[in-house]
Amino acid sequence: MEAATGSRRLLRRLRDVMAGSGTAQERLNEVVRIVAADMVAEVCSCYVMRAGEVLELFATEGLRPEAVHRTRLRVGEGLVGVVAATASPLALADAQSHPDFAYRPETGEEVYHSLMGVPILRGGRVLGVLVVQNRTQRNYTEDEIEALQTIAMVLAELAASGELVSPVELAPSNGIGLLPTRLDGVKLNAGLAIGVAVLHEPRVVIRQVVAEDPQAELVRLRAAIDAMQSAIDDLLAQSDIAAGGEHRDVLETYRMFAADRGWLQRMTDAVRSGLTAEAAVQKVQDETRARMSKVSDPYLRERLADLEDLASRLQQHLAGRHFAVEAALPSEFILIARSMGPAELLDYDRRRLKGLVLEEGSPTAHVAVVARALDIPVIGRAKDVLEKVEAGDLVVVDADEQQVFLRPSEDIQQAVAARLELRLGQRLSYAALRNLPATTRCGTCVALQLNAGLLLDLPHLDDTGAEGVGLFRTELLFMMRHDFPTVSQQASIYRRVLEHAGERPVTFRTLDIGGDKLLPYMAEIEDENPAMGWRAIRIGLDRPALLRQQLRALIRAAAGRRLRVMFPMIAEIGELDAARAMLDLELERAGARGGSLPAKIEVGIMFEVPALFWELPQLLSRIDFLSVGTNDLVQFLFAADRGNPRLAERYDPVSVPVLQLLSEVARACDAAKVPLTLCGEMAGQPLDAMALIGIGFRTLSMAPASIGPVKAMVRSLELAPLEALLAGLATLPPRTLRGKLHDFARDHAVAL
Ligand code: PEP
Ligand code: MG
């Protein structure tokens, strides 16, 4: 309490100085004098960032006055430069023995041993560094570091005002920021888009750091927290979310965090120390960000990210705005964020959102999963994009080429417009095929189905004209959550999928976690080769409760309907038998409880592990369908990690070994009269799909955007010459057949 009173008194004094008369330089001189006295330090100095990333000594109490405006350090140079480069505080009892200590004779600082420096931050940018020094080897406490950080917040206002250095120097990246810029990143979802930049966390400009009336600020903070909590409640009550689904689960967690006592207490304490409500939220948010940079545990990182998102929401409430200001959004925009949660992406108007650029982000990030369902291009790991972009800039997201253009030049804009027009034309022609059958010119029907995994994917069933869901990856909805869904939560989602599909078949694949699909709430699996490790059915059989619950939920959801269950990564028949026994037991139990059972049950497996090939004869008599997962099958056949970019182009699935194996699988299924599907990425590439049809596949399941192009290919295809070409597979050259198939398509007018 005493500390809070002292801090309030100091902040009030500083505020009076800031509001007083005199030039900016005079006010800064006064601030360093007061801080030195208050912190019982012999030195207090303020360095301000100048153009060219140079920190200039602007004011000092204690160092030699002639060093002011003479001593300059580059970012990263000396301890002051390190504070700026890392944007984090530094406290050293013996500063001179630190390897980064840079001695500047004009300052006369050789007599001071201890040093504490904090960055002067605003909107995530470093505007300067505030330092105190002591003659003795003083160990600065956490409280003292915090107090200096709070003072730095006050100084940030002065540094950003343009009174110390000209506003031109304050422009981001010191001038280069306004030039056209190209950034490299990682493709998280393919595509191309152009639009106006919208920053996901609009930087809240805090106009006042020191509270006039701390009591009133506490009331404002409390009111904003209430408003935020009830806005989250309102969102949860909205009809499309109330029914359940991925969006709801994430919001539920938000609701829980929004009531987190520790978090609320830290903000309340910051207000009690004399800050305004906005400055208090900012302070806690900065601390969270600093903690995030040190945490590597993915679960903790996600929790901290949630808290950061909530802080942003809270700032919007304090500013009197609701979180997503729909009306203010441009008609076509590109969203730019450090990282974001899937629910937040869904907050934005999907019709206007054209692309997403993340400073962080990996292909398995949940937001990337949602973006794929929304079919917008996404680039991740775009380094420093937030520093380089300004809200309102024109931005091109070229995910196909893994790059982002900020403020693109006229010729780039024209080239992008031409590519977009071409794509639009193609899309329109594919859309025109929607209600036409996927039948070859010679009259063979090919069933085209959809790969899905979120409720968000379901509208694509209607807009693509797909014949059903060939692969529903149930793990996606587990990945979107923060804890295991209960049986009834799962059942309600599966039921909605079935309801939406109506008469169209849906193949539910049981959980395929492990490998690259990790659940943040499941203990980390430490496999050396995760793709070949403890994953999919192996986890299902070793942790029977998990699989049993899922089967129970599927049975419940499909009451009175057709239920298709598919087990992933089956490597030997015994695994299928064990999984099937679990399903039978659950059916028996459901029957004994008097519940209504599915009208029909079909059980299938994914053929992903090569060893299973030699068990096909016995296997086929036990299953109702077989689906080939070439993403995994091909990686195991070539011993080539599917996620390794260096190997991405090395082995081609359209090659003799793969097609030879698949044609034999097709023949065996045909002879045993077991329906066969293929649901790996191959199915969605027109040329690859053509080869598959040529060796006997008649059902293909693929991503929504592939249905149109594959259907166009099928409708232009004449089967006999293709079959003739592929019949002599064994004698064809061993490497890729891609060139040969391209020639075939050109000679036979097949639309690729
Ligand atoms: C596959 O392996 O081809 C497949 C469809 O499964 P996933 O991509 O989900 O591993
Ligand atoms: Mg697979």
Is residue 631 lining ligand 1, measured as CB closer than 6 Å? yes
Angle (CA) 469-422-678 rounded to 5° is: 25
Is residue 473 lining ligand 1, measured as CB closer than 6 Å? yes
Q: Is 521 helix (H, G, I), strand (E, B) or coil?
A: coil
Residue 138: per-residue pLDDT = 95
Looking at the structure, do residues 106 and 233 belong to the same domain, yes or no? no
Is residue 15 lining ligand 1, measured as CB closer than 6 Å? no
Strand residues in 544-610 grouped as ranges (E): 562-567, 600-607
Q: Alpha-carbon distance 726 to 741, whole Å?
A: 9
Residue carrying the six token digits 């942003």: 312
Angle (CA) 578-580-585 rounded to 5° is: 95
Question: Quick one: which of 381, 281, 401 has its CA closest to 338?
Answer: 381
Both tokens of 530, joined, read 């995760």
Angle (CA) 365-534-508 rounded to 5° is: 65
Task: Read off the pLDDT of residues 382-401 as tens digits, 9 standing for 90 and up.
Answer: 988 988 888 889 999 999 99
Write out 660-695 in H/E/C secondary structure.
Answer: HHHHHHHHHHHHHCCCEEECCHHHHCHHHHHHHHHC
Residue 1 CB contacts under 8 Å (≥ 6 apart), including other chains: none
Nearest CA residue ID for atom 8, ligand 1: 631
Residue 324: per-residue pLDDT = 47
Residue 637: per-residue pLDDT = 96
Residue 23 Cα to ligand 1 midpoint, Å, equals: 66
Q: Alpha-carbon distance 166 to 163, whole Å?
A: 7
Nearest-ligand number for the alpha carbon of 678: 1
Last residue of a domain, one of 556, 578, 612: 612
The minimum-distance atom of ligand 1 relative to the CA of 627 is: 5
For residue 121, which phi and psi values (nearest 5 degrees)?
-110, 145
Residue 145: per-residue pLDDT = 92
Q: Quick check: is 457 in a domain?
A: no
Q: Alpha-carbon distance 215 to 604, whole Å?
A: 65
Residue carrying the six token digits 């190209």: 182
Residue 322: per-residue pLDDT = 52
Residue carrying the six token digits 């070994």: 657
Looking at the structure, do residues 120 and 77 belong to the same domain, yes or no? yes
Looking at the structure, do residues 195 and 341 belong to the same domain, yes or no? yes
Distances (CA, A) of 359 to 194, 286, 338, 339, 383: 18, 17, 5, 6, 6
- Kindly report the number of other CB atoms within 10 A of residue 536's CB atom: 28
Looking at the structure, do residues 186 and 245 belong to the same domain, yes or no? no
Q: Using CA atoms in the order 714, 719, 725, 727, what is the torsion angle rounded to 10 degrees?
A: 110
| pTM of the predicted structure, to 2 decimals | 0.69
Is residue 630 lining ligand 1, measured as CB closer than 6 Å? yes
The minimum-distance atom of ligand 1 relative to the CA of 680 is: 3
Residue 383 CB contacts under 8 Å (≥ 6 apart), including other chains: 183, 184, 185, 359
Q: Can you give the CATH number for the domain in which 247 is found? A: 1.10.274.10
Is residue 608 lining ligand 1, measured as CB closer than 6 Å? yes
Q: Alpha-carbon distance 629 to 651, whole Å?
A: 16
Both tokens of 267, joined, read 């903000």
Q: Quick check: is 99 in a domain?
A: yes
Residue 177: per-residue pLDDT = 44
Q: Quick check: is 441 in a domain?
A: yes
Nearest CA residue ID for atom 1, ligand 1: 629
Strand order in the sheet with 43-50: 72-74, 54-61, 43-50, 125-134, 114-122, 90-92
- Kindly report the number of other CB atoms within 10 A of residue 432's CB atom: 11
Best residue among 372, 535, 631, 633 to mutate for probing ligand 1's pocket (most ligand atoms within 8 Å of CB) is 631
641 burial level (CB within 10 Å; 0-12, 13-18, 19+): middle
Helix, strand, coil percentages in the chain from 3-state DSSP, rounded to 5? 50, 15, 30
For residue 676, which phi and psi values (nearest 5 degrees)?
-125, 135
Is residue 475 lining ligand 1, measured as CB closer than 6 Å? no
Residue 632 Cα to ligand 2 midpoint, Å, equals: 5
Q: Alpha-carbon distance 628 to 609, whole Å?
A: 10
Q: Quick check: is 748 in a domain?
A: yes
C-alpha R_g of the chain: 31
Strand residues in 496-650 grouped as ranges (E): 506-509, 562-567, 600-607, 625-628
Looking at the structure, do residues 218 and 242 belong to the same domain, yes or no? yes
Residue 531 Cα to ligand 2 midpoint, Å, equals: 9
Nearest CA residue ID for atom 7, ligand 1: 631
Whether residue 125 contacts residue 172, with contact meaning beta carbons closer than 8 Å, is answered with: yes
Whether residue 259 contacts residue 276, with contact meaning beta carbons closer than 8 Å, is answered with: no
Residue 175: per-residue pLDDT = 41
Looking at the structure, do residues 148 and 97 belong to the same domain, yes or no? yes
Q: Quick check: is 43 in a domain?
A: yes
Q: Quick check: is 323 in a domain?
A: no
The minimum-distance atom of ligand 1 relative to the CA of 475 is: 9
Looking at the structure, do residues 333 and 314 belong to the same domain, yes or no? no
Looking at the structure, do residues 141 and 189 belong to the same domain, yes or no? no
Best residue among 512, 532, 702 to mutate for probing ligand 1's pocket (most ligand atoms within 8 Å of CB) is 512
Is residue 476 lining ligand 1, measured as CB closer than 6 Å? no
Residue 113: per-residue pLDDT = 94
- Kindly report the number of other CB atoms within 10 A of residue 80's CB atom: 28
Both tokens of 20, joined, read 């007083």
Per-residue burial over 246-285, b = 16 or more CB atoms within 10 Å of its CB, e = otherwise: bbbbbbbbbeebbeeeebbebbbbbbbbbbbbbbbbbbbb
Residue 729 Cα to ligand 1 midpoint, Å, equals: 25
| Ranges of H-type helices in 375-523 | 385-388, 410-431, 459-464, 475-479, 487-501
Whether residue 752 contacts residue 713, with contact meaning beta carbons closer than 8 Å, is answered with: yes
Question: Considering its fold, how many domains does the chain have in total?
Answer: 5
The identity of residue 448, as a single letter, is L
Looking at the structure, do residues 508 and 599 belong to the same domain, yes or no? yes
Looking at the structure, do residues 301 and 365 belong to the same domain, yes or no? no
The minimum-distance atom of ligand 1 relative to the CA of 608 is: 2
Whether residue 42 contacts residue 54, with contact meaning beta carbons closer than 8 Å, is answered with: no
Strand residues in 519-665 grouped as ranges (E): 562-567, 600-607, 625-628
Residue 423 Cα to ligand 2 midpoint, Å, equals: 30
Q: Alpha-carbon distance 510 to 567, whole Å?
A: 6
Residue 170: per-residue pLDDT = 66
Q: Can you give the CATH number for the domain in which 8 is found? A: 3.30.450.40
Residue 176: per-residue pLDDT = 42
The minimum-distance atom of ligand 1 relative to the CA of 515 is: 10
Last residue of a domain, one of 170, 194, 225: 170
Nearest CA residue ID for atom 4, ligand 1: 629
Residue 242: per-residue pLDDT = 57
Both tokens of 100, joined, read 């980064």
Residue 126 Cα to ligand 1 midpoint, Å, equals: 45
Residue 540: per-residue pLDDT = 94
Q: Is the dihedral of CA 386, 387, 390, 391 positive or negative?
A: positive
Is residue 680 lining ligand 1, measured as CB closer than 6 Å? yes
Nearest-ligand number for the alpha carbon of 629: 1
Q: Quick check: is 619 in a domain?
A: no
The identity of residue 344, as a single letter, is E
Q: Can you give the CATH number for the domain in which 641 is found? A: 3.20.20.60
Nearest CA residue ID for atom 9, ligand 1: 473
Angle (CA) 196-199-205 rounded to 5° is: 125
- Kindly report the number of other CB atoms within 10 A of residue 311's CB atom: 23
For residue 179, which phi and psi values (nearest 5 degrees)?
-85, 160
Question: Quick one: which of 56, 711, 642, 247 has its CA closest to 437?
Answer: 711
Type and span of the H or E element at 157: helix 142-160
Residue 683 Cα to ligand 1 midpoint, Å, equals: 11
- Residues with catalytic roles: 366, 679
Residue 173 CB contacts under 8 Å (≥ 6 apart), including other chains: 387, 388
Write out 620-656 in H/E/C secondary structure.
Answer: HCCCCEEEECHHHHHHHHHCCCCCCHHHCCCCCCCEH
Residue carrying the six token digits 């990333």: 53
Nearest-ligand number for the alpha carbon of 509: 1
Question: Quick one: which of 30, 6, 9 has its CA closest to 18?
Answer: 30
Q: Domain limits at 133? A: 2-170
For residue 472, which phi and psi values (nearest 5 degrees)?
-105, 110
Segments in the chain below pLDDT 50: 173-177, 239, 323-327
Looking at the structure, do residues 661 and 515 belong to the same domain, yes or no? no
Whether residue 35 contacts residue 60, with contact meaning beta carbons closer than 8 Å, is answered with: no
Bridge pairing between strands 699-702 and 403-406: unpaired
Residue 235 Cα to ligand 2 midpoint, Å, equals: 35
Q: Quick check: is 405 in a domain?
A: yes
Is residue 629 lining ligand 1, measured as CB closer than 6 Å? yes
Q: Can you give the CATH number for the domain in which 396 is found? A: 3.50.30.10
Nearest CA residue ID for atom 3, ligand 1: 629
Whether residue 334 contacts residue 196, with contact meaning beta carbons closer than 8 Å, is answered with: yes
Q: Alpha-carbon distance 626 to 614, whole Å?
A: 15
The minimum-distance atom of ligand 1 relative to the CA of 512 is: 9
Looking at the structure, do residues 414 and 560 belong to the same domain, yes or no? no
Residue 534 Cα to ligand 1 midpoint, Å, equals: 16
- Kindly report the number of other CB atoms within 10 A of residue 62's CB atom: 23
Q: Alpha-carbon distance 371 to 365, whole Å?
A: 10
